[in-house]
Amino acid sequence: MPNSLCHFELMTNDVAKCKSFYGTVFGWNFDDQAMPGYTLIHTGHEPTGGVFAKPPNAPHPCMNVYFRVESIEQILDLSSRNGGKTIVPKTPIPGVGHFAMFADPEGIAVGVMCPNPDA
Protein backbone atom coordinates (compact mmCIF):
# COMPACT_ATOMS: atom_id res chain seq x y z
CA MET A 1 0.00 0.00 0.00
CA PRO A 2 1.50 3.38 -0.94
CA ASN A 3 2.06 5.94 1.82
CA SER A 4 1.34 3.49 4.64
CA LEU A 5 1.67 4.33 8.32
CA CYS A 6 5.28 3.60 9.28
CA HIS A 7 5.98 5.26 12.66
CA PHE A 8 4.29 7.08 15.54
CA GLU A 9 5.56 9.25 18.37
CA LEU A 10 4.34 10.30 21.77
CA MET A 11 5.49 13.82 22.66
CA THR A 12 5.00 14.03 26.41
CA ASN A 13 5.59 16.15 29.49
CA ASP A 14 6.81 13.10 31.45
CA VAL A 15 8.65 10.38 29.51
CA ALA A 16 8.89 7.98 32.48
CA LYS A 17 5.17 8.27 33.26
CA CYS A 18 4.29 7.84 29.57
CA LYS A 19 6.44 4.69 29.29
CA SER A 20 4.93 3.26 32.47
CA PHE A 21 1.37 3.91 31.27
CA TYR A 22 1.75 2.47 27.74
CA GLY A 23 3.98 -0.35 28.95
CA THR A 24 1.25 -1.41 31.38
CA VAL A 25 -1.74 -0.81 29.09
CA PHE A 26 -0.31 -2.27 25.86
CA GLY A 27 2.66 -4.33 27.06
CA TRP A 28 5.11 -2.29 24.97
CA ASN A 29 8.89 -2.46 25.49
CA PHE A 30 11.18 0.56 25.34
CA ASP A 31 14.76 1.15 24.19
CA ASP A 32 16.40 4.24 25.71
CA GLN A 33 19.84 3.49 24.25
CA ALA A 34 19.27 3.70 20.48
CA MET A 35 19.07 7.50 20.13
CA PRO A 36 20.01 10.14 22.73
CA GLY A 37 16.90 11.95 23.98
CA TYR A 38 14.57 9.60 22.12
CA THR A 39 13.10 6.32 23.34
CA LEU A 40 12.13 3.72 20.76
CA ILE A 41 8.88 1.86 21.32
CA HIS A 42 8.72 -1.82 20.42
CA THR A 43 5.07 -2.76 20.09
CA GLY A 44 5.68 -6.33 18.92
CA HIS A 45 4.26 -5.41 15.50
CA GLU A 46 4.70 -2.75 12.84
CA PRO A 47 4.75 0.17 13.05
CA THR A 48 7.25 0.98 15.77
CA GLY A 49 7.18 4.23 17.68
CA GLY A 50 9.06 6.69 19.83
CA VAL A 51 8.68 8.74 22.99
CA PHE A 52 10.32 12.09 23.62
CA ALA A 53 10.00 15.06 25.95
CA LYS A 54 7.85 17.92 24.68
CA PRO A 55 10.05 20.85 23.67
CA PRO A 56 9.27 24.09 25.56
CA ASN A 57 7.90 25.79 22.42
CA ALA A 58 5.50 22.95 21.51
CA PRO A 59 1.91 23.79 22.48
CA HIS A 60 0.88 20.53 24.20
CA PRO A 61 1.61 16.80 24.45
CA CYS A 62 0.37 14.83 21.46
CA MET A 63 0.74 11.77 19.27
CA ASN A 64 2.40 12.25 15.90
CA VAL A 65 1.99 9.81 13.00
CA TYR A 66 4.30 9.34 10.04
CA PHE A 67 3.52 7.93 6.63
CA ARG A 68 6.18 6.31 4.42
CA VAL A 69 6.58 8.26 1.16
CA GLU A 70 8.83 8.07 -1.88
CA SER A 71 9.47 11.82 -2.08
CA ILE A 72 9.19 14.21 0.85
CA GLU A 73 9.57 17.20 -1.48
CA GLN A 74 6.65 16.05 -3.64
CA ILE A 75 4.38 15.52 -0.63
CA LEU A 76 5.26 18.91 0.89
CA ASP A 77 4.61 20.56 -2.48
CA LEU A 78 1.24 18.81 -2.87
CA SER A 79 0.33 19.77 0.68
CA SER A 80 1.25 23.41 0.10
CA ARG A 81 -0.65 23.61 -3.20
CA ASN A 82 -3.75 22.20 -1.51
CA GLY A 83 -3.94 24.43 1.56
CA GLY A 84 -1.42 22.74 3.86
CA LYS A 85 1.56 24.35 5.54
CA THR A 86 5.02 22.87 6.17
CA ILE A 87 5.75 22.92 9.90
CA VAL A 88 9.00 20.89 9.91
CA PRO A 89 11.02 20.94 6.68
CA LYS A 90 12.80 17.87 5.33
CA THR A 91 15.16 16.87 8.13
CA PRO A 92 17.76 14.08 8.19
CA ILE A 93 17.65 11.24 10.70
CA PRO A 94 21.21 9.86 10.67
CA GLY A 95 21.33 6.26 9.49
CA VAL A 96 17.55 6.15 8.96
CA GLY A 97 16.42 8.62 6.28
CA HIS A 98 14.52 11.90 6.39
CA PHE A 99 11.27 13.20 7.84
CA ALA A 100 9.10 16.30 7.59
CA MET A 101 5.78 17.47 8.98
CA PHE A 102 2.96 19.53 7.55
CA ALA A 103 -0.35 20.81 8.85
CA ASP A 104 -3.46 20.08 6.80
CA PRO A 105 -5.93 22.93 6.06
CA GLU A 106 -7.52 22.42 9.52
CA GLY A 107 -4.15 22.47 11.31
CA ILE A 108 -3.81 18.73 11.93
CA ALA A 109 -0.12 17.80 12.00
CA VAL A 110 0.95 14.93 9.71
CA GLY A 111 4.43 13.45 9.43
CA VAL A 112 6.07 11.90 6.40
CA MET A 113 9.18 9.75 6.36
CA CYS A 114 11.44 8.51 3.61
CA PRO A 115 13.50 5.76 5.28
CA ASN A 116 16.33 5.90 2.81
CA PRO A 117 19.63 7.43 4.04
CA ASP A 118 20.27 8.77 0.53
CA ALA A 119 16.83 10.38 0.10
pTM: 0.84
1-68 CATH, one of 3.40.50.300, 3.90.1580.10, 3.40.50.970, 3.10.180.10: 3.10.180.10
Longest dimension (CA), the chain: 43
- CA-to-CA distance for 55 and 11, rounded, in angstroms? 8
User: How confident is the prediction for the chain on average, in pLDDT?
Assistant: 92
What's the pLDDT tens digit per position in 39-91? 999 999 999 999 999 999 888 999 999 999 999 999 999 999 999 999 999 99
Tell me the helices (H) and strands (E) count for the chain, helix number first: 2, 8
71-119 has which CATH code?
3.10.180.10
